[in-house]
Amino acid sequence: MSANIVLDTNAIFDHWYLTGPSIMVLQRFMALTGSRLIIPEIVLLETVNLFQREVAKARSQLRKLERFGNIDTSQVIHDIDLAPKEYEQKLRSRLSELQAEIISHENIPHSRIVARVLDRRKPFGQSGKGYRDTLLWEVILSKIATVECVTFLVTNNHVDFGIRDKQGELHSDLVEDLAAAELPEDRVCLCPSLNVFVREHATPGLEKATATIVEQLRQGRYGTFSIVDWFNEHREKLLSEDRLIDILSFSPELESPELSYMEEIKEVEVEDVAKLDDDRVFIDAVVASQVVIDVFIYHSNYYLAYEHYPISVMDDSWNESYTWAQVELSLPIAFSLVFNLLTETVEAFETSDIPEILGFCHLCGEAIVNDAAETCTACGRSLITRN
């Protein structure tokens, strides 16, 4: 569920630097669902002003301590005086870390706001107050809300934006605005606090998103990540010399195996996807890949090897004892990954155990895993004789 999350000033109150558990969940929710955190510029400016007022209150209270005796508060007050000057820079830096979008209120026609004042339309109240809330609503209406996804306005100002006794419902004036903009009524929803948004929308959304992601990974792809592309990039690392020796261990006549070539694969079979934690999943997969392996064959063993493998001689007089040859095989390669959902990167990988290979078709090189098989499952030729 992709969403636009718009924070009002009162939603940032007590989350001055946008840290803490709720922000962590929100950040993960955005990363997994492609949702946007949006701070209208009017909210940013008002938040900075509100922070300055709160600091001024704290400074005033601290000064009162001096009445109770010889208490030096000068250093603390000096630090407090610096806080408002640094706050806006720190807040903007934190918003950048969260990849939040700051939406300007420029180009909002003043005539539209004046018309709302004269008509006493919400968010303006009967007293005529509500300019800032109206500007915020006009920004949402003209620059944020879309048909494609829901916009959540996180604000505890249910009096001016909503219906007093019906938490979460927009005021009828605002519903009419959405209709005039050709937006469905459910495209903008109210949420009274960041904690409520996390509890009612982000946490359930994470569970649904993770389930969807797991299913996508079962199909071999998530976001910009493709298991096929990843395998093709790392395929030679998955088939080390030790691994080749293990695979060909039943055939001692093929000595010193070394991977010469592995073709790019186009399909991968994902056998299992399991959630490890909130951010990581385990992926178990297998592919069938054509490989060409350089081997050395003792002269007297050449015909024995030739009877069991599709061998191409590269140099029959490599030295006085050995023939250099290449064997083209179709190998099942099983591997596992630990995939980070947030960064869309593989954190770890390894080659997994595969069914015991009993041999290879001497015509096409397909691996034989059934000791009772008489014909090749790939080419249909006899495994008993060369026909």
Q: Does residue 377 form part of some domain? A: no
Q: How many CA atoms lie within 13 A of 270 on its CB side?
A: 20
Residues 200 and 225 in one domain: no
The reported pLDDT for the residue numbered 363 is 65
Q: Does residue 9 form part of some domain? A: yes
Residues 145 and 45 in one domain: yes
Cα dihedral: 105, 109, 113, 114 (round 10): 140
Percentage of the chain lying above the pLDDT 90 cut: 35
Number of structural domains the chain divides into = 2
User: How far is C-alpha 281 from the geometric centre of its chain's CA atoms?
Assistant: 11
Predicted TM-score (pTM) above 0.75: no
The reported pLDDT for the residue numbered 38 is 97
Distance CA 255, CA 110 (A): 83
Residue where a domain stops, chosen among 194, 212, 230? 212
The reported pLDDT for the residue numbered 256 is 87
Q: Does residue 378 form part of some domain? A: no
Q: Does residue 88 form part of some domain? A: yes
Residues 258 and 165 in one domain: no
Residues 241 and 205 in one domain: no
Residue 227 has pLDDT above 90, yes or no: yes
Residue where a domain stops, chosen among 156, 186, 212? 212
Cβ partners under 8 Å of residue 361, min gap 6: 310, 368, 376, 378, 379, 381, 383
Q: Does residue 376 form part of some domain? A: no
Residues 153 and 239 in one domain: no
Residues 231 and 152 in one domain: no
Residues 235 and 119 in one domain: no
Distance CA 108, CA 130 (A): 16
Whether the bond between 123 and the residue before it is cis, its omega within 30 degrees of 0, is yes
Residues 167 and 57 in one domain: yes
| CA 83-87-92 angle, 5° bins | 165
Q: Does residue 117 form part of some domain? A: yes
Distance CA 217, CA 211 (A): 10
Domain with 284 in it: 221-368
Average pLDDT over residues 279-297: 88
Residue 354 has pLDDT above 60, yes or no: no
| CA 80-86-87 angle, 5° bins | 90
